[in-house]
Amino acid sequence: MIGLSHYLILSGLLFAIGLVGILRRKNLLMLFFATEVMLNAANVAFAATSHYYGDLTGQMFAFFIIAIAASEVAIGLGLLIVLYKKTGTLDLDNLATMKG
C-alpha cells in the first residue's frame, strides 16, 4: 500500500535532486530545470498531504504553484534568450558582473 510517507519521500528526493542541480549545474538553463523539479517536489507534497487530510487547500496551492511556475518559465526563458543574445553564453562562470 502506498501511504503518505512514500509520497513525502518521493517529494524529498525530488527536492534533493533539484537542490543538487541548483548547486552543481553551471548552465542557467539547467538551473531552471532544477528549480522546476523543486517546485514540483513541493507540488507532490502539497497534493499528497491534501489528500491525506481531506483538505482541498493543499491541492489549490499546487495549482497556484503550477501557474506561477508556468509564468516564471515564460518570463525566465525570455530573459535567458535575451541574455544569451547579449553574451553568447549561459555558463554561470562567465557571468560574474556582480563580483564584489
Cα of first residue to Cα of last residue in the chain, in angstroms, is: 53
| Backbone φ and ψ of 73, nearest 5° | -60, -40
Angstrom distance (rounded) from CA 27 to CA 65: 24
Give Cα 48 distance to the centre of its chain.
18
Q: Does 97 bind another protein (CB under 8 A)?
A: yes
- By C-beta, is 20 or 56 nearer to another protein? 20
- By C-beta, is 1 or 23 nearer to another protein? 23
- Name the minimum Å distance from CB 20 to another protein: 9
* Dihedral class, residue 54 (left if φ above 0, else alpha if ψ from -120 to 50, else beta): left
Q: By CB under 8 A, what part of segment 16-45 binds another protein?
A: 19, 22-23, 25-26, 28, 31
- Name the minimum Å distance from CB 92 to another protein: 4
The residues binding another protein (CB under 8 A) are: 19, 22-23, 25-26, 28, 31, 92-93, 95-100
